[in-house]
Amino acid sequence: MPDSHGERSPEASLSLVDATMIGMGAMIGAGIFVLTGLAADISGPAAVLVFVLNGVVTTFTALSYAELAAAVPKSGGGYAFVREVFSDFPSFIMGWMLWFAYMIAGALYALGFAPNFIELLHVYGVAPEPGAVGAVALPVVGIDVPVALGLAFVAVLVLVALNAVSTAASGSVETIFTATKVSILVVFVAFGATSPMFDSAEFQPLFPGDRTALSLLPAMGLTFIAFEGYDLITTVTEEVKNPRENIPKAILASLATTIVVYLAVVTVAVGTLGADGLADAGEAGIATAATAFMPPLPVIRNGGALVVFGAVFSTLTALNAVVIASSRVAFSMGRAGQLLPSIGRIHHRFGTPFVAIVASAVVMLGSVALPTESAGNMSSLFFLLSFIVVNGSVIKLRRERPAMNRPYEIPYYPVPPLLGIALNTLLAGVLVFYLVRTDPLALALSVAWLALGGVAYVGLNQYRTAA
């Protein structure tokens, strides 16, 4: 339906369940499958505490998102909130950061989908192992394209096409895929917790050897991205039915469920393989644990195959969620006049932000060329910075507009947002310190993207003035 300016507005076609699944689909991505072993390598059996503490840290920010979404029911997530309380340039930079963070996260999910899909085919003898799969020569152009890269492109294109033609269909796919992967993790936990291999002694001592409680911090920085996702729900606020009530519910329900699932999975993994065994398995830690204690299942050959199957669904749901989120941030910026006007329009036939989806897909596909580790670090840094600003936004809005309608209010205000600012700043500082020593490219690319944003801001202002 048209808004007050004659432009068509997004249609509210997503239910509370759909909105919750968007958040869970983004959070329960490949992270829990590949980061658990890496966390155990850094912090030992205290890897369980790493996920507990990250859950606490992110809950403070989630409460801020819930209050802001209820008070400012506009699509665009953190960008929409910052634009409500800050001036033009800070809100543009916020949107510019979030847009890129979601797009490069999508590229990472697409690249994560490819080897998992090939491994799944390998389990059933359809394809060789991922490391043995080469390239395919494209006809006419004569270019050799790695199969994994081609699969990543196909995954993005299929989900972009789905999102471009129907928001309701993309929401339904997200719900089905997320329910499937959560069910797989529930099966993993059920077999592991009842396995003779599970031994609570694996958690004693909690900090073996020369490890101390300080080892929790770098492990938290590494795994924090696994808790990013509930914020995606607020990017589609105007497409959710009864958003003032349902968005806060979806945020808190998705985060609470995800934390419970994470803790159960990590506890079972450490309790069966032990922290050292989990660390030795690295990114394949969860699959190794499942293979060790799960019996053969009908159709699924072993526990490892089941986990690979879950990883395929996890990467696809996370990819679909960030396709939704990145396009809605771009759409909101275009509608506010901070990107090209065409990006901020709803398609007359499909009722979706078609141009915003296509524009986001182009950058997402281009982002697969970035070094994987650097791209992941950039995404984590931008999300941490955005969370700091969102917590600041809820405080600023409370002070400037105390009588504003707030269907949901943060309990014990202002403690949660203040803690959110402090803890996210701490993690961002730890990450920057880590990047200075190990990945200066990620810092350089981050600064370059922000500088490009400054140029784009000036250019778009001149374009609007000339128009």
For the chain, percent of residues with pLDDT exceeding 70: 94
| 410: in domain | no
Measured N-to-C along each axis, helices 415-438 and 440-466 cross at an angle, to the nearest 10 degrees, of 120
pTM for this one? 0.86
Domain CATH for 435? 1.20.1740.10
Per the CB < 8 A criterion, the answer to whether 360 and 326 are in contact is yes
| Residue 13 clears pLDDT 70, i.e. is over it | yes
Q: How many domains does the chain have?
A: 1
- For the segment 33-60, what is each residue's pLDDT rounded down to a tens digit? 777 888 888 889 999 999 999 999 899 9
Does residue 269 belong to any structural domain of this protein? yes
**Does a structural domain hold residue 412?**
no
Question: pLDDT at position 2, please?
Answer: 47
Within-domain flag for 350: yes
pLDDT per residue over 223-279, tens digit each? 877 888 899 899 888 889 999 999 999 999 999 999 999 999 999 999 998 988 888
Start-to-end CA span in the chain (Å): 26
Tell me what pLDDT residue 448 has.
93
Position 397 in a domain = no
In a 13 Å sphere around the CA of 63, the CA atoms on its Cβ side amount to: 19
Residue 1 — pLDDT band, cuts 50, 70, 90?
Answer: very low
How confident is the model over 392-440, as pLDDT tens digits?
999 999 999 999 999 999 999 999 999 999 998 988 888 888 889 888 9
Mean pLDDT of 319-342: 89
Instruction: Give the pLDDT confidence score for residue 81 in this predicted structure.
Output: 92
Which pLDDT does position 466 carry in this prediction? 77
Pick the range with the lowest mean pLDDT from 128-142, 262-276, 450-464.
128-142
Look at residue 185 and tell me if it is in a domain: yes
Domain span at residue 369 reads 16-58+79-382+425-462
The least confident of 70-79, 135-144, 277-286, 295-304 is: 135-144
432 is a domain residue: yes
Least confident segment among 107-111, 124-128, 149-153, 346-350: 124-128
Q: 179 lies in a domain? A: yes
